[in-house]
């Protein structure tokens, strides 16, 4: 009998599923629409159908699967395996997702936050695979985070640790969707980077961005590359906030590596160097720090790798 592991990464639009061998080699992957309006029962059934078809295409069946893992956007009670609520999946309220998927696949299922799962993927086989302590950030509409300390995901008392996107780096600053003010997410996420640029243009600041009907984060980086002063300032503020949260996390968890993922890292070295520069400008001078600040290596597959790894290791 083969020993396979299934990784499931659930998003509001698509569900990514991967089949892995015992060494976490990806054998095949597939993506299906989430169709959240159909409700949890139908969504989980669709997961099962996709897994069975994936296995069939590979010449296997569910009896060859030893365990699975799943990552979803929270908040959730991870110990109980229940999605409490989800902005992206409004029909999932108090949904026992772990047990439902376990019943569907007939195997044990590990369950965690999607950012934790992606973090675990990078830790296991990606940018953090050769160290025991990492902090992981994903830069997108918001800022997700995961922390691995001594080889284990940091969960916290309620399983909701590592919400570092909501660390306050500017007291009394920009309002955040979470209800706080001055969170790093409210300054440095892709969506808020674009928002700050749009607000500055609307306030009358001169910028080549003013010709655009709608400003995206990608636009801000592109206009910075063309020498636009406003875009350059906005990106510098974003990098400063990210550098500051790196300082805070260095002191809190002492990671060997800080890993950035998400759509914003498509900006490339210009972003990474700016984060490193602000980190060096704000870190203490008592000693020279050796922490590495790097980009993730698994791309959009981090979630399925991490989910399968959680299933295997649990």
**Domains of the chain as residue ranges with CATH:** 4-123+302-313 (3.30.420.40), 130-297 (3.30.420.40)
Does residue 66 contact residue 103 with C-beta atoms inside 8 Å?
A: no
pTM value? Answer: 0.94
- 96 has a pLDDT exceeding 70: yes
Question: What does the pLDDT read at residue 1?
Answer: 57
Question: What does the pLDDT read at residue 37?
Answer: 87
Lowest mean pLDDT among 35-39, 56-60, 143-147, 206-210: 35-39
Tell me: the pLDDT tens digits for 278-293? 999 999 999 999 999 9
Does residue 205 contact residue 223 with C-beta atoms inside 8 Å?
A: no
- 65 has a pLDDT exceeding 60: yes
Strand partners, 109: 68
Q: Is 182 left (phi over 0), alpha (psi -120 to 50) or beta?
A: left
Taking residues 109-136, what's their average pLDDT?
97
Taking residues 8-15, what's their average pLDDT?
91
For residue 175, what pLDDT band results from cuts at 50, 70 and 90? very high
Taking residues 119-129, what's their average pLDDT?
97
């Amino acid at each position: 009998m083969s020993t396979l592991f299934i990784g499931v990464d659930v998003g509001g639009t698509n569900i990514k599923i991967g089949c892995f061998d015992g060494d976490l080699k990806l054998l095949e992957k597939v993506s299906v629409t989430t169709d959240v309006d159909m409700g949890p029962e139908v969504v989980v059934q669709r997961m099962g159908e996709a897994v069975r078809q994936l296995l069939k295409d590979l010449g296997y069946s569910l009896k060859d699967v030893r365990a699975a893992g799943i990552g979803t956007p929270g908040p959730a009670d991870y110990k109980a395996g229940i999605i409490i609520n989800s902005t992206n999946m409004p029909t999932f309220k108090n949904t026992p997702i772990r047990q439902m998927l376990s019943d569907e696949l007939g195997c044990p299922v590990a369950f965690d936050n999607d950012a934790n799962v992606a973090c675990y993927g990078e830790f296991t086989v990606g940018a953090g695979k050769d160290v025991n302590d990492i902090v992981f950030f994903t830069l997108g509409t918001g800022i997700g985070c995961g922390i691995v300390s001594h080889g284990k995901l940091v969960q916290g008392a309620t399983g909701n640790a590592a919400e570092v996107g909501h660390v306050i780096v500017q007291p009394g600053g920009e309002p955040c969707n979470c209800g706080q003010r001055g969170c790093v997410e409210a300054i440095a996420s892709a969506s808020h980077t674009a928002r700050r640029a749009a607000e500055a243009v609307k306030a009358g600041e001169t910028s080549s961005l003013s010709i655009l009907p709608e400003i995206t984060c990608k636009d801000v980086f592109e206009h910075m590359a063309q020498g636009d002063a406003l875009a350059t300032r906005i990106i510098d503020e974003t990098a400063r906030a990210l550098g500051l949260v790196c300082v805070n996390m260095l002191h809190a968890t002492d990671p060997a590596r800080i890993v950035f993922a998400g759509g914003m890292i498509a900006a490339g070295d210009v972003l990474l160097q700016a984060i490193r520069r602000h980190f060096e400008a704000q870190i203490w001078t008592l000693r020279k720090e050796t922490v590495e600040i790097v980009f993730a290596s698994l791309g959009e597959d981090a979630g399925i790798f991490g989910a399968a790894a959680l299933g295997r290791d649990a």
